[in-house]
Chain A
């Protein structure tokens, strides 16, 4: 890391280990620091404890789904990171529900590396990177 540069922290929230590995690899190769949560409850605990610059959130997860996690997080009196919601569901209703829950953008799985990085940079205010 160059002196003076702050590495952005991204939290991946997904119950599928292979998906987390795939997204982690893409984001770490671009220089971001990545943490993981397996469900909405774990994500909420981590997000309340540590500030993240960006969230990458799956919808369907056990214990607390992505919508429930984002809705609860958005109620907290704290700086709110942008959230990219990723889902296998192509129905328009799911995209609308994602934005209502507090998502900043909505991507369909499987996400391509260039697509993920472009959206992450946009959300992090690094669109010119």
Chain B
């Protein structure tokens, strides 16, 4: 796995022994004992290359408490590997894992000084060939205080051919849209003239923007 030795805290219940090494923590992530996996997940962010090990385990982990510890560790890490790993989970067939990844990315996107790590990934996800991934990217944007969010949403409703990607983008434009979104919303209504939901949601967004 290539984990570099570094400082790590002592395993639970073993306070007199020396701290676990990064190799031990990496092995702990693969332990049959959920408590050991959870402990390793909490401690391993201090090690180099922890992101890859955590993401690998997350995709296979079935214990809710261990998944929670891994997600918390990935959020603490907030490095490109962790962010890319979470983004990759959006393609999972496991609905719970997808939603956990969305929530973790939202937390990363919303957390002030860390918000810079997520936008490049979001921009890439919005160009993904899978419309579901593009929808999840829009879901993450709800929490991203990034100046480009509105322009990304406008780009989506102008260019994306998938009705549900546009619908999800319009849902968010209802909250964050400004006058810049008015003409694109009008064009969207014309493009999906026979789609009742788009008519409803775009109409609602236009009404809210004009009331601002």
Q: Place the interface of chain A in its size category.
A: 20 to 34
Q: Mark A37-77, 1 if CB is under 8 A from B, else 0.
A: 00000000000000000000001111001111000000000
Which residues of B lie under 8 Å from residue A89 when comparing CB positions?
132
- Chain B, interface size category, equals 20 to 34
A98 to B23, CA, bound (A): 41
Q: Which A residues are closer than 8 A to B by beta carbons?
A: 16-19, 21-22, 25, 59-62, 65-68, 88-89, 93, 97, 109-113
Any A CB within 8 A of the CB of B201: yes
Say whether A110 contacts B196, CB under 8 Å: yes
A21 and B204 in contact, given A67-B95, A110-B195 (Cβ under 8 angstroms): yes
Given contacts A22-B197, A22-B200, A93-B93, contact A109 B167 (CB under 8 A): yes
Interface of B is mostly: helix
Contact call B201/A109, Cβ cutoff below 8 A: no
Selected A-B contacts with CB under 8 Å, 22 pairs: A16-B171, A17-B171, A18-B170, A18-B200, A21-B200, A22-B200, A25-B200, A60-B95, A62-B102, A65-B99, A66-B95, A68-B95, A88-B131, A88-B164, A88-B168, A89-B132, A97-B95, A109-B197, A110-B167, A110-B195, A110-B196, A110-B197
Chain A residue contacts of B93, Cβ below 8 A: 93
Q: Is the CB of A110 within 8 A of B164?
A: yes
